[in-house]
Structure 1
Amino acid sequence: MNRINMFFNKSTQLSLIATAFLLSSCGDKKAQQMPTPPPVLVSIAPVEVTDAAYHDEYPATVTALDVVELRPQVSGFITGVHFSDGSRVRKGQLLYSIDTQLYEANYDQAVANLSVQEANLVKAQKDANRYHELAKNDAVAKQMVDNADAALEVAKKQVEALKANIKGVQTNVRYTKVYAPFDGTIGISLVKKGTAVTAGQTILNTVSTDNQLAVDFNVDQKDIYYFANLIQKGKTANDSTFTLAFGNDVYPYNGKIILMDRAVDPQTGTIKTRLTFPNPKNLLRSGMTGTVRVLTTSKKAVVIPYKAITEQLGEFFVYTPGDSSKATQKRVQLGKALGTKIIVKEGLQEGDKIIVEGIQNLREGSVFTTEVPAAPAKK
């Protein structure tokens, strides 16, 4: 029985060895049969170095340089609205009238009270003068003289108080007229004739300047130095550095940079920057949104075709020709796109060469060729 088992064990071992030999032979044949992939046909070109001009773009909001909410300084009923909604107004132009009857009556009463008190002052002055004459001859007690002088001083103070009261009442009469604080455009009136208004609370309307408007946009904190230099250089409205676009339409007037905000927003890492644009045709309106275009010139910029770029996990690469005709990936930092080309900020320099055609078939270390393979000879 043991001999039979030994026989079968030896047979099994021989079968396994034979099978392994056969598989190894097949694998060697397949490996020998797998062809080496042919070199990838590519085109190679040197990077372009040129002076590039382009526009950096920033979302922007149009806002008025001066905006005032008109509120009445006295309470009463609106008796007149003296403008057309949405029209241009001039500084000092009458806009609203408030009922003056109460304030004029108060003024008349204050004037009458002053007249009475001035008469009392004249009497007190005469009494004081008379008592002083009598005192020279010791014909009156010293107490009577002092009382007369005190009455005179009281009369003078009362006259001064009534004069001040008249100024206050007179001011209220003036406040029944609401005037434009500056040249600009007025909005749609929030009150009509007959509306009751409360001093300091009711909003009548809003006036904003319109001869030039501000355009605000946010720039990254790393660009503060660049824009601060532009402010120092005093870019004028005739300079084409700053333009404003609404979709495909470019505003016909150039802007001027005037200021940057006092601090960087810690939440966004940006700082608000302000331009001003002339508005002679009243095309700009406060609240509009558009795009600020900042003309930038880059000296000796490295420019390559956009088609030479590959992207992997948010990073950008180009293929460069390496030794033994093998492609090598190089990471680059991209700048502004210029049509079918793009500026490379970092990763390439003048004199470098890149692969511009055939990159879709390349991998790191792929063998390439720039020669078109010859057509097979006809039999």
Structure 2
Amino acid sequence: MKKTILSSALVSALFLVGCGEASQNSQTPPAQLVVAQQVESISHQQSKSYIGRVEAVEDTNITAQVTGYLKGSHFDEGQMVEKDQLLYTIEPSSFEAQLASAKAANAQAEATLIKAQLDFARGKNLLPKGSISQSEFDHLNAALLGAKAQVESAKAQMRLAEVNLSYTEIRAPFSGRIAQSTVSTGDLVSPQSGVLTTLVSLDPVHTSFSISERERLELGMDNIKSEGEADSVEVQVVLENGQRFEHLGKLDFLGNRIDLNTATIALRAVVANPDYRLLPGQHVKVELREKHAEQVVVVPRRAVQTDLEGNFVMIVANGDIAERRNVELGRQIESGVIVRSGLSVEDTVITQGLQRIRNGVPVRLKSANAE
């Protein structure tokens, strides 16, 4: 009987010791091995890329303003021409004759005016003496007024003849690159002949593209300054080969309405092009970016997890304890993802071993390069 009681006491004691150890183990689980790194703060310019097209600031069709035979062309096709450079000459002889005739008519009208002025002056002296009647004096006055009108008409005809003669020399309205000619020497040209050639300016050029309404608000492009520069962004043109164009652009146009079909708004930038590397019609990538860099917190993308509460990361808190931090994310960049709120540069985020930990468990750190 005594042996039975003693055995029961020993079993009970062992059972209680075992329960105590199990309870202690459940309260302090073993530390999990994880990889962590310090949160980075980097200088970042927010940017966004769009597909754009290069357009000429000036693009014009060269046409004839008068009818005549083409006497000659004075440019090399496909080359740069300067403003007011002579491009075409139309045979001027008939227009020179018209100008000479207009000058003669003007001289005759002025002579008639002088005679009418003298007759009017005599009549004005004779009328008080009764040497002429009032009717005759009125006739002299009307002749004077008619002579003045004839002079104005002759001067207008002379100016018209001068303008027509000037049109026999077709000059470049601005500096740019000229296309091939569609006419040859000896062709009869007229305003109905169509385009003789085209001329486009190449420095500077425009780049046109479209952005969404949300992106317009995010980049702060609510207004374009009068001098043609957006308040907060600059324009970087990227060529088809991936090379960045050496000259930055400035926004100079913001559309006045949202396109209902695409939900986008039209934008345009002006870009210096002194070496003529950009050509009208060329497709480019237009990168809009903030003018001034800002310091942002960045973590590796693999450190971010998502559940029903949203995005979160696990950090190593004091005492090497894993702690959950809910975060608000920004854009993803090359070095990771921007964290707008929830972390600071003093925090250390766990990047590997996340599947083995939860909030509040102890962790052990190892190097990211450890095998």
**TM above 0.5, one fold?**
yes
Gaps of 5+ in 2: 1-29, 366-371
- Check if 1:140 corresponds to 2:135: no
Deviation at 1:55, TM superposition (A): 6.3
Percent identical: 24
* Deviation of 1:170 (Å): 1.2
Deviation at 1:94, TM superposition (A): 0.9
Does the 8 Å contact 2:228/2:252 carry over to 1? no
Aligned mates of 1:93, 1:151 — CA distance in 2 = 48
Instruction: Provide Cα deviations, 1:271-310, integer angstroms capped at 9, x if missing partner.
Output: 4444433322222222222223436666442322233456
Specify whether residues 117 and 233 from structure 1 end up closer, same or farther in structure 2 by C-alpha distance, changes over 3 A only.
closer
Contact map agreement 2:55 2:208 (CA 8 A) in 1: yes
1:116 aligned to which of 90, 108, 115 = 108
Q: C-alpha offsets along residues 83-136 of structure 1, whole Å, 9 cap, x if unaligned?
A: 112211112111122233443332232223233333433443444445445545
Give the aligned length: 325
Among candidates 268, 281, 284, match of residue 278 of structure 2: 284
TM-score, normalization by structure 1: 0.67
Task: Tell me how far apart the structure 1 counterparts of residues 35 and 43 of structure 2 sit (CA, whole Å).
Answer: 22
Q: Which residue of 2 aligns with 1:88?
A: 80
Q: Tell me how far apart the structure 2 counterparts of residues 255 and 139 of structure 1 sit (CA, whole Å).
A: 86
Q: Which amino acid aligns with 1:259?
A: D
Task: Choose which of 327, 331, 337 in structure 2 pairs with 1:335.
Answer: 331
2:316/2:350 contact within 8 Å kept = no
User: Please, which of 231, 247, 265 is the counterpart of residue 254 of structure 1?
Assistant: 247
Aligned to 1:51: 42
332 and 258 in structure 1: CA distance in 2 versus 1, 3 angstrom threshold: closer
Q: Which residue of 1 aligns with 2:145?
A: 153
Task: Find out whether 1:222 has 2:220 as its counterpart.
Answer: no
Task: Label 1:226 to 1:110 Cα distance change in 2 as closer, same or farther (>3 A).
Answer: closer
Q: Whole-Å Cα distance in 2 between the matches of residues 53 and 321 of structure 1? A: 23
Residue 40 of structure 2 aligns with an amino acid whose one-letter code is: V
1:42/1:355 contact within 8 Å kept:
no
* CA distance in 2: counterparts of 1:211 and 1:50, whole angstroms: 40
Shift of 1:345: 4.0
Query: Whole-Å Cα distance in 1 between the matches of residues 98 and 142 of structure 2?
Result: 30
Instruction: State the alpha-carbon separation in 1 of the partners of residues 311 and 184 from structure 2.
Output: 66
- The answer on whether the counterparts of 1:51 and 1:297 sit within 8 Å (CA) in structure 2 is no
Please report the RMSD computed on the Cα atoms of aligned residues, expressed in angstroms: 4.4
Tell me the SS of whatever aligns to 1:250. coil
Aligned-partner Cα distance in 1 for 2:255–2:188: 42
Partners of 1:86 and 1:257 lie apart in 2 by 28
Q: Deviations over 1:37-76 (max 9, x none)?
A: xx9x773525613023356242233223333333333233
Gaps of 5+ in 1: 1-38, 373-379
Q: CA deviation at 1:171?
A: 0.9
In the alignment, is the contact (CA less than 8 A) between 2:315 and 2:347 conserved in 1? no
Superposition deviation, residue 242 in structure 1: 4.3
Structure 2 residue aligned with 1:166? 158
Shift of 1:167: 0.7
CA contact (8 A) 2:234 2:251 kept: no
**Aligned partner of 1:265 among 258, 271, 277:** 258
The 5 Å alignment of 1:292-331 reads 292-293=286-287, 294=289, 299-308=294-303, 320=314
Distance 1:134 1:248, change over 3 A: closer
Instruction: Give the match's secondary structure for 1:145.
Output: helix
Task: Evaluate the alpha carbon distance shift between residue 197 and residue 370 of structure 1 in structure 2; reply closer, same or farther with a 3 A threshold.
Answer: farther
Q: In the aligned structure 2, how far is the partner of 1:270 from the partner of 1:345?
A: 27
